[in-house]
Structure 1
Amino acid sequence: MSEMTGETGVQSGTARGYLSEMGPSWVAGAIAAGPASMASLITAGAGFGYSLLWVVLLSAVAGTVAQYLAMRLGLLSGQGIVTLVESYLGESWAWILVVDVVVAAGVAQLVIMKTVASVSATITGIDARIWGVIWAVILLAGLAGRGYRFLELAAKALVAAVVLAFVASAFIVPIDAGSAVQGLIPTLPSNGALVAAGILGGAVHITLITMHSYTMRARGWDESDYGLATFDVIASMLVAFGIYSISIFLVAASVLSDPNLTTVGAAQALGPLVGPNAKWLFLLGLGGAAVSTLGGNTIVPPFVVADKLGWGTTVEDSRYRALLAAFALLSAPGAFIGGQVIGQLVLVLALGTVGTPFAIAVVLYLLNSEAVPKSNATLANAGGVGILLVSGALAANFVRGQIAGGVELLSGAVLAFAVILGVAIVVLLGKYVREEVSVA
């Protein structure tokens, strides 16, 4: 592994060694750099021009900070996040976290499968519903059959290829540098709150935060790998995901002007506008992003459910393997969902944003408790609180927008979900304040 001995950050060890050993954060990056993020970025660029570029940059930074905090928790405690929550907060809190993760990841899985199947159908001409079944079987064989290391290797390869594809697309498309610079000034256009929540939700999402302790355990990392783990987070989230997001956004803002485009439609629209090369690069990038996200997202609910039930979180435990297989197969119905996928993808990310503040609050609480041997640094706490406030504000705006449209089944469910988690955050904050006062 690395030459690190203790918590000293990225200070020693060769870059070549880090590049060859990194991996767990790339699985999170594979989920972040997926079709849902792409849908939000396309919608933002096509609908609002360059004005939300600052949100795109903020999302990469916020995603890096969130993953760094999740990395610290898993690495310094050596346990899965659900076990930690149950040990230091209680069983009810652990179940709230598990339900939060399963709802957010489960809804996302269906829509992501629809995207994968749609892209596969566009490329091959074979019906998307058939592709849904095919990809579900591939997930079953790859993940339940070969385990985490297979997913990690695939994630690194696919994310690298996706980033290259979109960077190439950005070079083909003419970009207005002056307007792009103006987009760095923070402004929120009318009706832009949902899209902004979607962009941030792609980088700071409950599935990414909760999975990290399990993926590092699957690699056998501990505190001595702190420098490697930090490098892993920076390389995958700040660099790879940041370049991915900026490239897609700039392409959409430069030449697309229809906010109702589908993800596949955006790729097809590039053909007559800037040439077939851009179309196929964009389409292949979309396909790679969708496949990598589908695989990464599949492992998240089985991780937290198995941890809550006291099972192993690797395929060596047949119970975990069965959970993984079941979730993989339950992805197939996603290919049969009707409607335009881009709006569904943005909604999925925004819905995830509703569940994310609770996960961040839990991580911050645990990092400042006896769950870890070393207290969180002031700067890390400040970054975490900043993400909590931003994600909370975006979640509140999203919920308000859903209610404004009339409380129906979907908006009512979102509202109930948000209220439960909001109350949980307030109670958790009160618990932390009482403990600090008693110690003082």
Structure 2
Amino acid sequence: MTEEQTTTGKKHWSQRIGPGLVTACVVIGPGSILTSSNLGAKDGYSMIWVVLISVIFMLVYTSLGAKLGTVTSESTCTLLAKTVGRPLTILIGCGVFFISAAYQFGNNLGVHSALENFTDFKYGIVIFNAISIAFLFGFKNLYKLVERLMGIFVGLMLVSFAINLFFAKPNLLEMAEGLIPGYGSDGLDSILNISLLGLIGTTFVISAAFYQSYLARFKGWKVEDLKDGRIDSVISVTIMALITIMLMSTAAAVLRGEQLNGVGDVGNALQPLFGDKGQILFCIGLFSAAYSSFIVNSMIGGFILSDSLGLGGTPQDKWTRILTAAVLLTGMFVAIYVIQSGTKPVVAIVAAQAVTVVAAPLAAGALLLLTSSKKVMGEHRNGIGMNLLAGIGFVLLLGMAWYIASEKVLPQIQKMRGETAAVIQVEPAEMKLATRN
């Protein structure tokens, strides 16, 4: 009998949860903190209902991922390669890797924003990347370490943001009204453009749901643990919802009308209202969110790409750790460039958005395909109700992909092409002038 079991042979509670805590940590990062705080500052409590919608779809897909990892014995990308072929599997793996690598700098900037309130040292992220890489290569049981670390970070986030919310004294009636779709919003355009395509985009993170299948396998869950997987997924999305609603409600109560351009602005805006202690609490929560997402996001990119290439998909495989380190280093160097220059890496952001358009629906479709297959899942394949909910979520992802492509990627590409064309036109003119002189 192991230490995790009681004398009656039942599992210890810590054996019944874990993967969901890791998933919650990657979803609650600097991007979701800024998005939910901005929505609270702009629209008050009126978008709380969107949080519930987004976590419902996240619950559906994390449940699919947990079930796939629990029922099957082979890695997810191995199963996918057998089902749809290796080329499409590699496309998904590369897409997830580049999304993780391109957005990793946001997690680095979140750690930097939390630290810069207490120190003038600008390269703290180098130290934390070094610690993360040491974790990767220095510990044999990497999953167990990550699970325990993420549990600590989740606790810090919940306590820090809950205390801030308590002192903010939110309007409970308006919070309840925010559960009603469309109540208090500025109309359908506001709902569609800001909430469903903004807040859901930072909460309904399909790559994290896809990775849930790996986490369930790392946990050692088998078919008899299916119930544990469902409970764990519910706990995961409940944590996501609580933290997001707390952030949104705090901003609605004390930051109404504030313009928040970066995640550091949220803590700075709270300082005059809550004092130094309130800002410190927020920074503790921000650091926990950023650094936890920092670690797990890089693992998602590295593990899924390695597995898609057939190089292994477990923490013990060499290439999973090497490619995870590649994500970490990419994010660190881009963040250092941003810190030093003060400019955003537009090309990296546009590239990540463009890859998301392709990779997110493909990853969702792959997860839905595998869990619906009788050959893969046997008697545990999806029922009609689950397929219907997952299908709606898939359509939502397609809508988000269309929005990102039409409203963000194409305009940015056209702008960059226009700027390039202007440079090309100016240079010959300058050369002619120099020749005449």
Q: TM-score, normalised by structure 2?
A: 0.82
Structure 1 residue 180: Cα displacement: 2.5
- Aligned mates of 1:37, 1:346 — CA distance in 2: 16
After TM superposition, the structure 1 = structure 2 runs for residues 164-313 of structure 1, keeping only pairs within 5 Å, are 164-187=159-182, 189=186, 190=189, 193-194=193-194, 196-237=196-237, 239-256=238-255, 257-313=257-313
- Aligned mates of 1:352, 1:42 — CA distance in 2: 26
**Conserved 8 A contact 1:137-1:329:** no
Q: Deviations over 1:75-113 (max 9, x none)?
A: 222222211211001122102211221122111212211
After TM superposition, the structure 1 = structure 2 runs for residues 99-138 of structure 1, keeping only pairs within 5 Å, are 99-127=94-122, 130-138=123-131
- Aligned mates of 2:292, 2:278 — CA distance in 1: 21
**Conserved 8 A contact 1:69-1:363:** yes
User: Which structure has the bigger radius of gyration?
Assistant: 2
Matched, 1:371 2:371: no
Q: Tell me which residue corresponds to 1:335.
A: 335
- Aligned mates of 2:245, 2:43 — CA distance in 1: 15
Which of 29, 34, 42 is the aligned partner of 2:29? Answer: 34
Which of 120, 141, 144 is the aligned partner of 2:137? Answer: 144
**Conserved 8 A contact 1:39-1:346:** no
- Structure 1 pair 344/167, CA: closer, same or farther in 2 (3 Å)? farther
- Aligned mates of 1:352, 1:41 — CA distance in 2: 24
More displaced stretch, 280-289 vs 325-334: 325-334
**Conserved 8 A contact 1:169-1:278:** yes
Q: Deviations over 1:56-82 (max 9, x none)?
A: 122222211210011112222222221
**Conserved 8 A contact 1:209-1:359:** no
One-letter amino acid of the counterpart of residue 148, structure 1: Y
- Aligned mates of 1:196, 1:265 — CA distance in 2: 24
- Structure 1 pair 273/110, CA: closer, same or farther in 2 (3 Å)? same
- Aligned mates of 1:296, 1:79 — CA distance in 2: 22
- Aligned mates of 1:291, 1:379 — CA distance in 2: 37
- Structure 1 pair 162/352, CA: closer, same or farther in 2 (3 Å)? farther
Structure 1 residue 229: Cα displacement: 1.5
- Aligned mates of 1:178, 1:404 — CA distance in 2: 42
**Helix, strand or coil at the partner of 2:12:** helix
Q: Tell me which residue corresponds to 1:76.
A: 71
Structure 2: gaps of 5 or more residues: 3-8, 419-437
One-letter amino acid of the counterpart of residue 377, structure 2: V
- Aligned mates of 2:331, 2:288 — CA distance in 1: 17
- Aligned mates of 2:354, 2:412 — CA distance in 1: 17
After TM superposition, the structure 1 = structure 2 runs for residues 313-324 of structure 1, keeping only pairs within 5 Å, are 313-324=313-324
- Aligned mates of 1:59, 1:84 — CA distance in 2: 28
- Aligned mates of 1:296, 1:403 — CA distance in 2: 26
**Conserved 8 A contact 2:302-2:326:** no
Structure 1 residue 266: Cα displacement: 0.8
Identical counterparts, % of pairs: 25
Q: What is the root-mean-square deviation of aligned Cα atoms in Å?
A: 3.0
Matched, 1:66 2:61: yes
- Aligned mates of 1:350, 1:184 — CA distance in 2: 30
One-letter amino acid of the counterpart of residue 56, structure 1: V
Q: Tell me which residue corresponds to 2:365.
A: 361
- Structure 1 pair 42/345, CA: closer, same or farther in 2 (3 Å)? farther
Structure 1 residue 411: Cα displacement: 10
- Aligned mates of 2:261, 2:167 — CA distance in 1: 20
Structure 1 residue 249: Cα displacement: 0.7
More displaced stretch, 287-296 vs 332-341: 332-341
Structure 1 residue 210: Cα displacement: 2.1
More displaced stretch, 276-285 vs 322-331: 322-331
- Aligned mates of 2:348, 2:276 — CA distance in 1: 25
- Aligned mates of 1:114, 1:185 — CA distance in 2: 35
Structure 1 residue 318: Cα displacement: 2.8
Structure 1: gaps of 5 or more residues: 3-12, 413-440
**Conserved 8 A contact 1:207-1:297:** no
Matched residue count: 397
More displaced stretch, 300-309 vs 137-146: 300-309
- Aligned mates of 2:85, 2:222 — CA distance in 1: 25
**Conserved 8 A contact 2:39-2:47:** yes
**Conserved 8 A contact 1:201-1:349:** no
Q: TM-score, normalised by structure 1?
A: 0.82
Structure 1 residue 409: Cα displacement: 6.7
**Conserved 8 A contact 1:18-1:231:** no
**Conserved 8 A contact 1:271-1:278:** yes
- Aligned mates of 1:406, 1:142 — CA distance in 2: 38
After TM superposition, the structure 1 = structure 2 runs for residues 382-401 of structure 1, keeping only pairs within 5 Å, are 382-401=388-407
